[in-house]
Amino acid sequence: MSTDGFRDQVSSAPGAQFPPEKGRYLLFVSHCCPWAHGATIARELKGLEEYVELYEIAPVMGPEGWYVDKKDYPDATYLLDLYKRQVPDYSRRATVPTLFDKKTQRFVNNESHDIIRMFNAEFDGDRSVDLLPDELAETIARESEWIIDGISKIPLGILTGTDKEEVQRKKLLLVQNLQKLDALLADRKYIMGDKLTELDVRAYPANVRYDIIQTVFPQQEAEVLRPIREAYPNIHRWIRDLYWNHKAFRNTTKLDEVVENLRSKPFTPADWSPPQPLIESL
């Protein structure tokens, strides 16, 4: 815990401060957020519904970030208000996902990747699902550098960027990495081959949103940053396979909330119209 974020760990080790007990944890999420989406996918893949309850936040943010419901928190308006109860001088944004311990009334962690790994390894969930096999851990770490940092994090930077040279650099990097991922998936079911891993869980949320976000790009950007369903057939197949053949991906994909969030953003044109129907546009 610090003014920068919460990075404690749920652990199955004896004497752990935050043990993986049923009914103990609450996960703050907004379904529009790709980082929260990865955590909800992992939670359902591992079958942790009895361990981790969801607190679902509306997709439209306010001046201080994510709202919480007054019915649940009469003395708070924002998730940030709850953060500041624990850390009064908290200096950053409140983010989702955030894992909360109901027993101690403490926030545990607000880093999506940490939460996914805790769900995978520390809770007594579905043991047939292992999102980080030992033999793939090193390769997953290496590949995530360009798949997560080079694809998932870039579209928002293009939409909000003010430095033309930096925006151009991000555009070229995004296209390069989408092409690389499409080539990688040419003869693979999943990113790591025939095994579903945390890379699929972490990469899917940004990619399933991409064709919706792409329609928000200014025309000159959209001509370069083409829709996945048109330009990247192997990524498109991978997205559709995860959505239609894995209920953890399908049940947690709320594209209507992505649209609602985008409509509220200042960079979205007033006359913007998302692709319809949303699911069939994947």
Q: Which of 10, 29, 32, 33 is catalytic?
A: 33
Active site residue 32: no
Question: Pick from 107, 119, 258: which is nearest to 202 by CA?
Answer: 119
Q: What is the distance between the alpha carbons of residues 136 and 192, in angstroms, rounded to a whole number? A: 8
CA dihedral angle for residue 44, residue 22, residue 27, residue 121, rounded to 10 degrees: -60
Q: What is the distance between the alpha carbons of residues 156 and 216, in angstroms, rounded to a whole number? A: 10
Q: What is the distance between the alpha carbons of residues 135 and 252, in angstroms, rounded to a whole number? A: 28
For the beta sheet containing 25-29, the strands, ordered from the edge strand earlier in sequence to the opposite edge, are 52-56, 25-29, 98-101, 106-109
Q: What is the distance between the alpha carbons of residues 215 and 169, in angstroms, rounded to a whole number? A: 20
Q: What is the distance between the alpha carbons of residues 243 and 270, in angstroms, rounded to a whole number? A: 30
Q: What is the distance between the alpha carbons of residues 51 and 49, in angstroms, rounded to a whole number? A: 5
Catalytic residue ranges: 33
